[in-house]
Structure 1
Amino acid sequence: MLAAGAVVLVLAGGGVALAAGGGSDHPAAGSTASTAPSGTPSSPPKPTPEATPKPKPKPTDPLTGGKVDSGEVLAVKVENIGLARPQVGLNQADIVFAEQVEGAQTRLVAVYHTRFPKRLGPVRSARSTDAQLLPLFGRPGLVYSGANTKVQRTIDKASILPIFVDRRDQRRVAPHNVFVDLRSIAARKKAGAARSIGWTFAAGTPSGGRKEQHPTSKVGHDTFRFDYASGRYTVRWNGQRYVDGDSGAVTRADNVVVLHVHDHADGNHDVLGSASVMSDTVGEGAVSVYRDGRRFRGTWSRSSAGAVMRLRDRDGRDIPLAPGQTWVTLQG
């Protein structure tokens, strides 16, 4: 029998040893185990290797998802009717918004941050939609050729730096001939630097989505079409490509975002009596994001003019854009 309080250790190979509680200090008979000499210190425990810290993701530019650029943000109101074509400088914009104005026509708000073209236009007048939309970028400059009194008061109260321009290019017919040197304006004016607008970017194509290589969006009476080929979207207006009037470069985009918005009259009228349109970009609505030849559906949301805009899928996850240039249509 074992002594009272003895502890039995079962050793590899089937041997048994007694220890503690009044048992023998020697291995049990038949055991193959051996004990260290009395007073011999045991080997120190090996230190646990420290976990290798994960590398921090490199910061990316909030408007393009590319290399961070600390420059300011300038938005330019660009005309978008037949008499304004071909526009100049659109292909260098980081983001272009297409919005409805009076008479179901459209105008563009081209946002520049990483590149400022030396020649850009034709520039036209601002609208109420701009005063609500542009504070998304912090305090951007707005380059425009005028606004009616009511719209101007709205712009003056908004988080926008108004930059009125009226430099004419006599090679074109007025009023479709205001052109600017945006590089010079950026050097002279102190608009706000780029900040997060709530969008996320990822180089790899997200999972899910549906193949769609020729998305279209109707804004007012105009149809915008985006043809995907060789990794980018060629931008068309009523069937015609946007081609730069100076360089001949075709305007292309890496992302197309269709925001379904609420359009309503804002109380203004043009000289012909047509009601001006306000497109709300505060609130929420359906969104379709096109990248890599695929369509991703979800919801856009923005709580106030000073807040960011989120683009989320049906599970509440951010829909990442591809790094690069983006066209956004405000589709009512």
Structure 2
Amino acid sequence: MAVALLAATATAALAAGCTDHHGPAQDGRGRQQTPTPGQSQQLVSGTPVLAVKIDNAPAARPQTGLDSADVVYAEQVEGGLSRLMAVYATTLPKVVGPVRSARESDLELLRQFHNPTLAFSGAQHKLLPLINSAPLQAEPPAKASGAYFRGTDRPAPHNLYLRPARLLASPPGAKALTTGFRFGSAPAGGKPENRRTIRYPAAGFAFTWSANLHRYLVAMDGTPTRTADGKPVAPATVVVQYVKVRQSAFHDVLGNNTPYTETVGSGKAQVLRDGRVYDVNWQRRKATDGTQFTTKDGKPANFAKGQVWVVLAKAP
């Protein structure tokens, strides 16, 4: 039984990560080249956010730089596993990763930002033309090799890391976060709730309120989430957003369909802040809009100041 479970887990992990086709530049002997500062990189103009697709397979943990993100989106991928997209605007950590491949759903989610920079390890070849034509700055290793490096503490593909400063000269600031989120005092009502668990078919997230930190402690697949340097990942607000998850036109190399998570539309959500949970509605009229979260009386559901996690869960 244990062997079968291990084999199934390995197959699912392969299914969720088999679309990466690009890596950092190598020399003629197949060795990774050591980039020099600013090597072949052109700083992005304007004030875009940086969005990074982050590996969330067990072999990719602990991640690096996840605690510095302003917003972390969790989405379902092939095999029922999860992947993260971290959005950086107010702080650019020295290193982020491991970096993994993009999905079609990411393009719709990122339309809320003005010309965002997307760092990702690659994508299915049929998806690449859609990424290249999207209103964003695509920066995979094939294009920005000097911004990436391979770590030595874990095997590929779970060891690709990004140096954000090679893509952005400086953090664009909070004004670039055109998510539609509102921050302020807590809404009226709500009910006490110290722990919330969200499950995907082959992955799980748990958020436990810490009164001492005044933040939620994150656990993934039953293991506390810490960064590579031991810092706990602790958002101030957690949003469980119920969305439609359907099949896309894409499959991985094993034939598994890639889920498409629809983030334009409307539906129900729950906002966790200050150790309480609030039932709210969400609406995003078009892809270029942010998402509005409102209470039953139509008032904005304010978030607590700090990192926000949005877990995109399949609507019942």
**TM-score with structure 2 length normalisation?**
0.78
Deviations 1:257-289 (A, max 9, x none): 011010111121112111111000011111100
2:98 matches 1:115: no
2:215 matches 1:239: no
* Equivalent residue for 1:272, pick from 254, 263, 274: 254
CA–CA separation in structure 1 for the residues paired with 2:112 and 2:193: 29
CA–CA separation in structure 2 for the residues paired with 1:327 and 1:85: 18
**Secondary structure of 2:161's aligned partner:** coil
The residue aligned with 2:208 is: 227
* Equivalent residue for 1:281, pick from 263, 271, 277: 263
CA–CA separation in structure 1 for the residues paired with 2:297 and 2:170: 45
Larger radius of gyration: 1
Query: Could you tell which deviates more after superposition, 184-193 or 82-91?
Result: 184-193
Higher helix proportion, which one?
2
Q: Which AA in structure 2 matches 1:233?
A: Y
Q: Which AA in structure 2 matches 1:223?
A: G
The residue aligned with 1:187 is: 169
Distance 1:138 1:220, change over 3 A: farther
CA–CA separation in structure 2 for the residues paired with 1:140 and 1:178: 21
RMSD, matched Cα: 2.1
Query: Could you tell which deviates more after superposition, 165-174 or 205-214?
Result: 165-174
Distance 1:72 1:192, change over 3 A: farther
Deviations 1:138-194 (A, max 9, x none): 221110010112322222232221111253223321111110111232129999970
Distance 1:190 1:318, change over 3 A: closer
1:1-16 alignment, distance < 5 Å: none
CA contact (8 A) 2:89 2:172 kept: no
* Equivalent residue for 1:207, pick from 184, 188, 209: 188
Q: CA deviation at 1:221?
A: 2.2
Q: CA deviation at 1:302?
A: 0.7
CA contact (8 A) 2:90 2:172 kept: no
Distance 1:215 1:188, change over 3 A: closer
**TM-score with structure 1 length normalisation?**
0.75
Q: Which runs of 4+ in 1 moved over 6 A?
A: 188-193
The residue aligned with 1:163 is: 139
CA contact (8 A) 1:86 1:243 kept: yes
Q: Which AA in structure 2 matches 1:300?
A: W
**Secondary structure of 2:54's aligned partner:** strand
**Secondary structure of 1:315's aligned partner:** coil
CA–CA separation in structure 1 for the residues paired with 2:80 and 2:192: 30
* Equivalent residue for 1:259, pick from 235, 241, 254: 241
**Secondary structure of 1:215's aligned partner:** strand
Q: Which AA in structure 2 matches 1:329?
A: V
CA contact (8 A) 1:74 1:111 kept: yes
1:1-332 alignment, distance < 5 Å: 72-165=48-141, 167-187=149-169, 194-202=176-184, 204-229=185-210, 230=212, 231-245=214-228, 247-332=229-314
CA contact (8 A) 2:238 2:309 kept: yes
Q: Which AA in structure 2 matches 1:218?
A: R
CA–CA separation in structure 2 for the residues paired with 1:254 and 1:196: 18
Deviations 1:70-106 (A, max 9, x none): 9531000000011111111111111000001111111
Q: CA deviation at 1:220?
A: 3.7
CA–CA separation in structure 2 for the residues paired with 1:170 and 1:91: 22
Q: Which AA in structure 1 matches 2:271?
A: V
CA contact (8 A) 1:155 1:162 kept: yes
Q: State the percentage of identical aligned residues.
A: 38
Q: Which AA in structure 2 matches 1:303?
A: R
Task: Show structure 2 runs of 5+ residues with no match.
Answer: 1-45, 142-147
CA contact (8 A) 1:94 1:114 kept: yes
CA contact (8 A) 2:89 2:173 kept: no
Q: RCO greater where, 1 or 2, for CA within 8 Å and sep 6 or more?
A: 2
